[in-house]
Amino acid sequence: MQHEKFGIYLNTKNCQVMRINSPYWIPKGAGWVFLTPEVNTTLLKIRGLAKEKGVVKDPEKIVWGDWSEVPKKR
């Protein structure tokens, strides 16, 4: 089921997070980490989760990602 993949994903390479709540694009690859299924999580909470999980060195550098950088669906 696609809904199990909805949530907040962190790109550990560029410290950007994406809110995924549609099946249009689900992040894949080694650089992406699923943080939480709660799509309405605040950036402050996201930084706390990233710190708890130890997925980035400096959680304060985490920012929202830019949808213009998402690959176009073919």
Condensed to tens digits (0 to 9), the pLDDT of residues 24-52 reads 888 888 899 999 999 999 999 999 999 99
In terms of residue numbers, what domain contains 40?
Answer: 2-69
Q: Per the domain annotation, does 74 fall within a domain?
A: no
Q: Per the domain annotation, does 41 fall within a domain?
A: yes
- Is the predicted pLDDT of residue 69 greater than 80, yes or no? no
Between 11 and 70, the higher pLDDT residue: 11
Q: What is the pTM of this model?
A: 0.87
pLDDT tier at 70, thresholds 50, 70, 90: low
When pLDDT is averaged across residues 12-19 and rounded to a whole number, the result is 94
Domain tally, the chain: 1
Bridge partners of 20, per DSSP, are: 7
Q: Per the domain annotation, does 18 fall within a domain?
A: yes
Q: Per the domain annotation, does 52 fall within a domain?
A: yes
